[in-house]
Amino acid sequence: MRALVTGATGFIGQHLVRHLAARGHEVVCLYRTPRRAEPLQELNVRLVQGTLEEPRGWAHLLGEVDVVFHLAGVLKAFSRRRFRQVNVEGTRELLQAAAQQQQVPRVVLVSSLAAAGPSRGGTPRSESQPPRPVSVYGRSKRAAEQEASRWADQVPVTVIRPPIVFGPGDRDVLEMFRPVARFGLHLVPTWRVPRLSLVHVDDLVPALVAAARLGQCISTCPEQDQFAGFYFVAAEEHPRYDQLGRMIAQALGRRRVLVLRVPGAVTWLAALGAESVARLRRRPQIFNLDKAREARAGSWTCDPSRAMEQLGWRPGAPLQQRLEQTIQWYREHGWL
């Protein structure tokens, strides 16, 4: 295929680009910062500098590709405006530019479980449940999905909603591993222990490619399935947060880990402190007030059955094995 990848220098983007390039696909990488594009220079791909907010420099590329993997987005920011500017308005600019091409490319939009919201009643979320995001980030990703629905009569769009994504090169989930590695301590940010869905990046990337080939597109017909074209992609296991700490400890080779439940007030205070420090440094961090809202909202689990049935996708390894592979990479690169 001929593919354009937005957010190509990000954690998921780099894995996707390497996957496509290794299989002989023609890949155009849209990137914002030259320094972050350096790891991609060794690959047989085309690098184009640009931002979603300024499509004039790259919009013509949409007419040269078969599929767009839209990964560019903001996971952490200090303001609602920034989330909206990139996640919502950037998606609108991309879809509008795609609709203007003589040959309109297919778009695979990488959203998030946060756009759907937490699971209720102990049952993993399915695509047929109405979205109820609880965070600023989640609402911005849901608004991006709604933009995709508005353009669905002009641009074929498939939406993938991953939960927590981890794997080699990820620095955000690394912060979950470090207390277990250093102190044998795993903090649970609530008295009621939630369940979580996760997906390893090496399992997510094949799902994105399968979605481009086999996935349904968002429907514009009221008589059809209004949730067609949406897919959750996750490991089949949904461990409790305390169980995840023990799985991480096992992957690290630790015999014991102290699981400590933290009262809600402490979680909020810690998030406020972390965000205050981040603002002073002018560098958003993954642990902030918005993430505290998600942590306090209950379980975050999703059912990947639809992706398995319609995309022919399966996780490549059990969750425990994926945790071990990730920790091995962290150790080899001096991150743990």
pLDDT at residue 122, as a whole number: 83
Per-residue HEC secondary structure of the chain comes to CEEEEECCCCHHHHHHHHHHHHCCCEEEEEECCHHHHHHHCCCCCEEEECCCCCHHHCHHHHHHCCEEEECCCCCCCCCHHHHHHHHHHHHHHHHHHHHCCCCCCEEEEECCHHHHCCCCCCCCECCCCCCCCCCHHHHHHHHHHHHHHHCCCCCCEEEEECCEEECCCCCCCHHHHHHHHHHCEEEECCCCCCEECEEEHHHHHHHHHHHHHHCCCCCCCCCCCCCCCEEECCCCCCCEHHHHHHHHHHHHCCCCCEEEECCHHHHHHHHHHHHHHHHHHCCCCCCCHHHHHHHCCCCECECCHHHHHHHCCCCCCCHHHHHHHHHHHHHHCCCC
pLDDT of residue 267: 84
Q: Label residue 247 by pLDDT band (50, 70, 90).
A: very high
Task: Indicate if the pLDDT at residue 223 is higher than 70.
Answer: no
With a cut of 80, say whether residue 48 has pLDDT above it.
yes
pLDDT band for 311, please (50, 70, 90 cuts). Answer: very high
Class of domain 2-165+197-236+301-316 as given by CATH = alpha beta
- Whether 268 has a pLDDT exceeding 90, the answer reads no
Residue 308 has pLDDT above 90, yes or no: yes
Residue 33's pLDDT band (cuts 50, 70, 90): confident
Q: How high is the pLDDT of residue 149?
A: 94
- Average model confidence (pLDDT) across the chain: 93
Residue 222 pLDDT > 70: no
Q: What is the mean pLDDT of residues 156-167?
A: 98
Average pLDDT over residues 66-85: 92
In this predicted structure, the answer to whether residue 224 has a pLDDT above a threshold of 70 is no
Q: Worst-scoring range by mean pLDDT, 28-37, 109-118, 141-150, 242-251?
A: 28-37
